[in-house]
A = this chain, B = another copy of it.
């Protein structure tokens, strides 16, 4: 136990960020799209979420960012059972999660700057502080010139980068990114992955859902594979009874 990094300390303090036990999910009265999912993600880990189109990656993420309740099973976040949390606390938990939605979900009537600033505004930050911080991050993702552009006037890849900036601006403890590089070229994809790795180094738990095989090859993080609503892959990662495995 010679060199404890900041990350090691965090992991020790927080334990598992997510712990799914026997979770199933369905949309309204539709069929189950996730079946009996159990796994645990330790704080500070980095995972790819893979699987064919329609397998349930985005649905799993919906459960993780508290947009949907499980049909069966239990989900614990930061050690607390999610289903027992009151509304007020759910909001507080959500602020600890940054999400890159597969379809971006930028607000059309806001500029890139305002979109990215939203998480800070919601937590009550002062306007002057926000502005510089947001502008800097936007330049970093290559949108320095487009901070005042509305999403509809941005290219697909530019919108995606705004969505990523919004997800990371508030330094969340968890980052969930759904296909975050589907619309950008290889160079930018690499740059964004480096950004995620930087965040991971300071303790952020990261889950990236992706189909991008080049990315999967170049960044050798742990993989969670989902097929037809069922988790498949090395047993150790998904065995919630055992100690959680790190990436």
Q: A residues near B, CB below 8 A?
A: 27, 30, 51-54, 57-59, 102-103, 142, 153, 155-158, 160-161, 178-179, 182-189, 211-214
Contact = CB atoms under 8 A, between A and B. Distances in A.
25 contacts: A27-B153, A30-B153, A51-B185, A52-B187, A52-B188, A53-B161, A53-B183, A53-B184, A53-B185, A54-B155, A54-B157, A54-B158, A58-B155, A58-B156, A59-B155, A103-B103, A103-B156, A156-B179, A157-B211, A179-B183, A182-B183, A184-B211, A185-B211, A189-B211, A213-B214
A60 to B, nearest CB: 11
Contacts of A188: 52-53
Given A185-B211, A186-B213, A211-B184, A53 B158 contact: yes
B102 A156 contact: yes
A103 B163 CA distance: 14
Nearest to A158: B54
A48 B156 CA distance: 17
Nearest to A155: B54
Given A53-B157, A53-B160, A214-B214, 12 more contacts: A27-B153, A30-B153, A53-B183, A53-B188, A59-B155, A102-B183, A157-B211, A182-B182, A182-B183, A183-B211, A186-B213, A189-B211
Contacts of A186: 211, 213
A15 B183 CA distance: 33
